[in-house]
Structure 1
Amino acid sequence: MATIRILLGIVCFAVVGSSWGADGNRIADGDKRTVIETAKKEIGIRESAENAGLRVDQYNAHVGLKKVPWCASFVSWCFGQAGYAQPRTAWSPSLFPADRLAKNPVAGMVLGIYFEHLKRVGHCGIVEEVRNDWVYSIEGNTNLNGSREGDGVYRRMRHKRSVYCFADWLTKT
C-alpha cells in the first residue's frame, strides 16, 4: 500500500510539475528573472583587449564568433544561460524583427539604440526595470558614457525617448 502511495505521489508530482516552467508557447516568469539575474552578475566584467577578454570571449563564442563588437553577443549569452534557444546573434539589428517588436517595455526585454550615422540599431541591452519614463538596463560593450564601443558590462539608465525600439524574446510568437 505504501508503495502505491509513493508511486501515485510521484505521478502527481510529475503531472503538476509538467505545467510549470516552459510550455510550447511561453517561458515561465522565473526564466525572465533568470535572464535579468544572469545579466546583473556580469556587471563589472571588462575587456582585457578590444572586444576580447576571458568572459567577452565566452559571450562571442556563444554566437560562434571571435573578437567582434559584443553587445548582442552579451544579450544572446544571457538568454542562453536562462535556457532560451533564441536570440543567438552578434548583430544587434537582428534582435529586432517585426514580430518581436514591443511598444511597452517590461523587464527582460531587449532595447535597441539607433545610430543615425549607421542608419540602423547599433547597440542593445537587456531591460532590467522600467520606472515611469526611465528604462534601467544592463548592457555589454558599453561604458559610463553609453558608448556602443565600450569596455565592459554596465548598468545604464536611459529615457524611453532615447530608446529606438524594444523586442520581446521572452514569449514565443
Structure 2
Amino acid sequence: MATARFIMGMLCILAFCGNRLPDRHLLSTAINVNQEETVLRKRIVAIAMGELGVRELTGKNDGVRVEAYLKVIQLGKGHAWCGAFVSWVYSKAGLAQPRLGWTPSLFPFRRLTKLPLPGDVFGIYFPALKRIAHAGLVEQLSSDWVITLEGNTNLKGSREGDGVFRKRRHKRTVARFANWIKQENKS
C-alpha cells in the first residue's frame, strides 16, 4: 500500500512539474496532498457504500433516506434524486460542492476528467432526452468497466429506479466523468 501511494505521489509530481525535478518542499507537499485526496476519495466511496440497499418507500421518489438526499439540494419528495444522492454523499464527506440535482450541471468543463478515480462523478447520456440524465459515483475501474454506486436506479440500471445500487457499467456507456474533489483541496 505504501508503494502504491508513493507511485501515485510521484505521478502527481511528474504531472505537475513536467520534465523538471521538483525541490524537496514541493515533493513532500505533492505527496501529502495526494494522500489527503486519497483519504477523501476513500471516505466518499465508503459513505456511498453505506447507502447500498436504501429503497424508496412507495416507488415515487420518496422515503426518509431519499428525502434526506433531496433536502441537500433543497428539493422535496417526488423529484428524481440521482444527482441529490451524489450531492448528499459529498456533503457527508465534508465537501461544499456539488449541491446540484440537475444532472447536466454536474459536468462543467473545468471539472471534466478522462482518467476517473474512485469518488469521481459519472454521467450517462440519454439520446431521447439529448442530455446527461443519470449520474452516480465511481467506486473503481476494472479494465473496460466502471463499478459505480448510484441512487435512483434499479437492477437494470434505469435512471428512474427505486434505490441505491452498485452497478457495473462499460466505459463506453459513460458520457462524462467529473472530478469535484480536486478544487476542494486547493481552497
1:61 aligned counterpart, secondary structure? helix
2:73 to 58, 63, 74: 63
Q: Distance in 1 between matches of 2:85 and 2:131?
A: 19
Please list, as runs of the form range in 1=range in 2, the aligned pairs for 1:25-40 lying within 5 A after superposition.
28-40=37-49
Superimposed CA distance per residue, residues 84-131 of structure 1 (whole angstroms, 9 cap, x where no aligned partner): 000001111100000001111211110000000110000001000001
Q: Distance in 1 between matches of 2:151 and 2:143?
A: 24
Please list, as runs of the form range in 1=range in 2, the aligned pairs for 1:75-86 lying within 5 A after superposition.
75-86=86-97
**Does structure 2 conserve the Cα–Cα contact (< 8 Å) formed by 1:27 and 1:170?**
no
Bigger radius of gyration, 1 or 2?
1
Partner of 2:155: 144
The alpha carbon displacement at 1:28 in A equals 2.9
Q: Distance in 1 between matches of 2:162 and 2:109?
A: 30
Partner of 2:20: none
Partner of 1:107: 118
Name the amino acid aligned to 2:157.
G
Partner of 1:12: none
Query: Hey, which bits of structure 1, 4+ residues long, moved more than 4 A?
Result: none
Structure 2 unmatched ranges of 5 or more: 1-28
- The answer to whether the aligner puts 1:47 opposite 2:76 as a matched pair is no
**Does structure 2 conserve the Cα–Cα contact (< 8 Å) formed by 1:31 and 1:83?**
no
Structure 1 unmatched ranges of 5 or more: 1-18
Superposed CA RMSD in Å reads 1.7
Superimposed CA distance per residue, residues 31-86 of structure 1 (whole angstroms, 9 cap, x where no aligned partner): 11111000000000000021110000000001110121000000000011001000
Partner of 2:10: none
